[in-house]
A and B are shown apart, each in its own frame.
Chain A
Amino acid sequence: AQSVTQPDIHITVSEGASLELRCNYSYGATPYLFWYVQSPGQGLQLLLKYFSGDTLVQGIKGFEAEFKRSQSSFNLRKPSVHWSDAAEYFCAVASGYSSASKIIFGSGTRLSIRP
Chain B
Amino acid sequence: GAVVSQHPSRVICKSGTSVKIECRSLDFQATTMFWYRQFPKQSLMLMATSNEGSKATYEQGVEKDKFLINHASLTLSTLTVTSAHPEDSSFYICSARQTDPLSSYEQYFGPGTRLTVT
List the interface of chain A (C-beta within 8 A of B).
36, 41-46, 49, 51, 90, 97-99, 101-108, 110
Q: Interface extent on B, as a size class?
A: 20 to 34
Q: Answer whether residue B31 sits at the interface, using C-beta atoms and an 8 A cutoff.
A: yes
What are 8 residue pairs bridging A and B, where the CB atoms are less than 8 Å apart in the complex? Answer: A43-B110, A43-B112, A44-B44, A46-B109, A51-B104, A97-B104, A107-B43, A110-B41
List the interface of chain B (C-beta within 8 A of A).
6, 31-32, 34, 41-46, 49, 91, 93, 95, 97, 99, 104-107, 109-112, 114
Contact partners of A108 in chain B: CB under 8 A: 42-43
Contact partners of A99 in chain B: CB under 8 A: 31-32, 97, 99, 105
Looking at the assembled complex, report how far the CB atom of A76 sits from the nearest CB atom of chain B, in whole angstroms.
16
Whole-angstrom distance between the alpha carbons of A105 and B46 in the complex?
9
| A107–B42 CB distance below 8 A | yes
